[in-house]
Amino acid sequence: PSEDLKYYQKVTIPGAEKLKEPQVHEALLEAEVLINVPVLKHHFASQLTIAMKNLMGVVWDRGEYHGKGLHECIADFCLYRKPDLNVLDAYLVTMKNGPQSARAEDRSLQKTLLLSRDIVAIDAAGAKILGMDPEKILHIKLGHEKKIGNMNLEGRNIKRITL
């Protein structure tokens, strides 16, 4: 409902090319710490949903993303506020036909949890779990080019813990 708009405020995103002045939920604006907890899944429009795309949920008019360029807007918003920590739930992963049309056979039990302060790196790692090349996902590539984070995982301090 339109009365919910009262919880959103217009912000300016320095350096944004497409998403310049979105209306952002006050919970994000007031938060001292931002912990982003996306679920890894295939998405028909953006190829995948991970940490960068998950932040769309705090913006009032998500239709604006589709009208102006989905991948560009996803990357632009990350210029505004990067999470302090990203915790990626990749336990049961929708590998295709997501998010609405996925069937049981489209899901894969990966039993994985990823943590990173770098929103672009965690998206690159998640893309690889989905069998995708991070360089071919435009918002990940733009996030790297805009220096929001680093999509190159080689040489990173990656620790695997098996329970």
For residue range 46-96, what is the model confidence (pLDDT) as tens digits?
A: 999 999 999 999 999 999 999 999 999 999 999 999 999 999 999 999 999
Helix axes 138-145, 119-129, angle to 10 degrees: 150
Q: Give the tokens for residue 153.
A: 């995982």
DSSP string, the chain: -GGGGGGEEE---TT-SS--S-EEEHHHHH-SS-EE--EEEEETTTEEESHHHHGGGGBS-THHHHHH-HHHHHHHHHHH---SEEEEEEEEEE-SSTTTS--GGGEEEEEEEEEES-HHHHHHHHHHHTT--GGGSHHHHHHHHTTSS----TT--------
pTM of the model: 0.93
Q: Which residues, in sequence order, are bridge partners of residue 59?
A: 24
According to the model, what pLDDT value does residue 141 have? 98
- The residue type found at 67 is G
According to the model, what pLDDT value does residue 159 have? 78
Q: How far apart are CA 40 and CA 46, in angstroms?
A: 13
Q: How far apart are CA 55 and CA 13, in angstroms?
A: 14
Compute the average pLDDT of residues 109-116.
94
What pairing do the DSSP bridges indicate for beta strands 39-43 and 47-49? antiparallel
- Confidence band, pLDDT 50/70/90 cuts, at residue 3: confident
According to the model, what pLDDT value does residue 2 have? 62
Point out the least confidently predicted range of 35-39, 74-78, 83-87, 154-158. 154-158
Q: Kindly tell me if the per-residue pLDDT of 163 is higher than 70.
A: no
